């Protein structure tokens, strides 16, 4: 008998994602984004995102069903992001998912968005090994997870104490006068600069931080250091070597992320690393992670970028994992949890 067909719905931020997954196979992944509506504000406006989800939900669902030649009554279970994320946007997705589950009489799983960023890799690189480390990095999250079972056994090793990696890139992008979101622009600039030109601080890497924050991140000090460095140059009337600033900043972020991640692999005796989230597009991170993992004998799995940014496939993949693990459905009475803990895979 074939595995159950899972419909996944994602609305935690600015992407409306609807996907269909059967086992480890992705049938369709349909995404609508409201990013362009936020660009002129320099950040996501939750009210605008909520309204965009409301408008995009049914068309995105219909597009997914048509593309996969699937009718709603063939769906065996529904999975939806219950958190973490923005309350309004999450509520639109959860309401849609509850209505569908109720109308179809099918089980509903409210799942964790960040865990979904790791789960999606199964659709690309196949079943997970018994244990692995996942680094989930985006504009909203920077988290290090030890995964023993993607449906039921996720342990948070560390997270950012302030800015997420992508957020730090976007803020530094703003102070360098780059368009929003600045991340990809800094990445491009950095490729032409000298990463050793300026020694920017590596947050939470001092010996004194090892006890409490070995696997936590902090990027706000780095961001401030870049701002000070640029101001000092401006005050002295000297030109800003943009490419060198970008390269040195990107090198500091990639250094901290990969050093802590590989230390976690070593500490937990794990030989597989999964990297997910929109920031995994970053070339400095990819290059250093690949290089350091190879040196440590760790296999790196990074899904193609379209599965790293927010999408429905990651939620359908996690829903499919819930079914495989025999997890009880969430019922129809749960609310959204904007700060859902990472050890909680489902509600």
Decide if residue 319 touches ligand KG4 (CB under 6 A): no
- Tell me how far, at minimum, the Cβ of 184 lies from ligand KG4, in Å: 4
Contacting residues for 149 by C-beta, under 8 A, at least 6 apart: 325
- Tell me how far, at minimum, the Cβ of 39 lies from ligand KG4, in Å: 12
What are the φ and ψ backbone dihedral angles of 16, each rounded to 5 degrees? -95, 115
Binding residue for ligand KG4, selected from 88, 93, 278, 329, defined by CB under 6 A: 278
Decide if residue 195 touches ligand KG4 (CB under 6 A): no
Decide if residue 167 touches Zn ion (CB under 5 A): no
- Tell me how far, at minimum, the Cβ of 325 lies from ligand KG4, in Å: 26
Decide if residue 170 touches ligand KG4 (CB under 6 A): yes
Q: Which of residues 222-251 bind ligand KG4 (CB under 6 A)?
A: none
If you write DSSP's letter for every residue of 43-106 in order, what string do you get?
A: S--HHHHHHHHHHHHHHHHHHHHHHHT--GGG--EEEEEEESS-HHHHHHHHHHHHHHHHHHT-
Taking each helix axis as running N to C, give the angle between helix 183-190 and helix 242-267, from 0 to 180 degrees, rounded to the nearest 10.
100
Residue 255, binding choice from Zn ion, ligand KG4, none, Cβ under 5 to 8 Å by partner class:
none
- Residue 17 · residue 312 · CB < 8 Å: yes
Please identify, using beta-carbon distances, which residue of 77 and 281 lies nearer to ligand KG4: 281
Q: How far apart are CA 332 and CA 118, in angstroms?
A: 25
Decide if residue 183 touches ligand KG4 (CB under 6 A): yes
- Residue 123 · residue 317 · CB < 8 Å: yes
- SS3 at position 28: strand
Site string (12-51) toward ligand KG4, x via CB under 6 A: -x--------------------------------------
Decide if residue 187 touches ligand KG4 (CB under 6 A): yes
Q: How far apart are CA 79 and CA 102, in angstroms?
A: 13
Task: Give contact residues for Zn ion (rule: CB under 5 A).
Answer: 138, 310
């Amino acid at each position: 008998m074939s595995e159950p067909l899972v419909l996944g719905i994602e609305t935690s931020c600015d992407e409306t994602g609807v996907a269909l997954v059967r086992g480890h196979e992705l049938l369709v992944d349909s995404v609508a984004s409201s990013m362009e509506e936020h660009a002129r504000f320099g950040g996501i406006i939750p009210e605008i995102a909520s309204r965009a989800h409301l408008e995009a939900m049914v068309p995105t669902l219909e597009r997914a069903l048509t593309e996969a030649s699937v009718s709603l009554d063939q769906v065996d279970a529904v999975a939806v992001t219950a958190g973490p994320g923005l309350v309004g946007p999450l509520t639109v997705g959860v309401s849609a998912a509850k209505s569908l589950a109720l109308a179809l009489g099918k089980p509903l799983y409210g799942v964790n968005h960040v865990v979904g960023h790791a789960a999606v890799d199964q659709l690309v690189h196949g079943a997970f090994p018994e244990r692995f480390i996942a680094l989930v990095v985006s504009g909203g999250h920077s988290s290090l997870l030890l995964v023993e079972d993607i449906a039921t056994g996720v342990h948070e090793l560390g997270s950012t104490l302030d800015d997420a990696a992508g957020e730090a890139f976007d803020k530094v992008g703003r102070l360098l006068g780059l368009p929003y979101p600045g991340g990809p622009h800094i990445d491009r600039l950095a490729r032409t600069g000298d990463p050793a030109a300026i020694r920017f601080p590596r947050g939470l890497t001092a010996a004194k931080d090892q006890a409490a924050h070995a696997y936590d991140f902090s990027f706000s000090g780095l961001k401030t250091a870049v701002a000070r460095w640029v101001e000092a140059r401006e005050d002295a009337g000297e030109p800003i070597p943009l490419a060198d600033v970008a390269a040195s900043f990107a090198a500091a972020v990639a250094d901290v992320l990969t050093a802590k991640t590989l230390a976690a692999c070593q500490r937990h005796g794990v030989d597989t690393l999964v990297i997910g989230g929109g920031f995994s597009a970053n070339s400095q991170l990819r290059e250093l992670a690949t290089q350091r993992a190879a040196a440590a004998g760790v296999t790196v799995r990074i899904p193609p970028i379209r599965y790293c940014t927010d999408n429905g496939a990651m939620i359908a993949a996690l829903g499919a994992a819930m079914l495989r693990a025999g997890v009880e459905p969430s019922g129809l009475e749960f609310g959204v949890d904007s700060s859902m803990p990472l050890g909680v895979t489902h509600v």
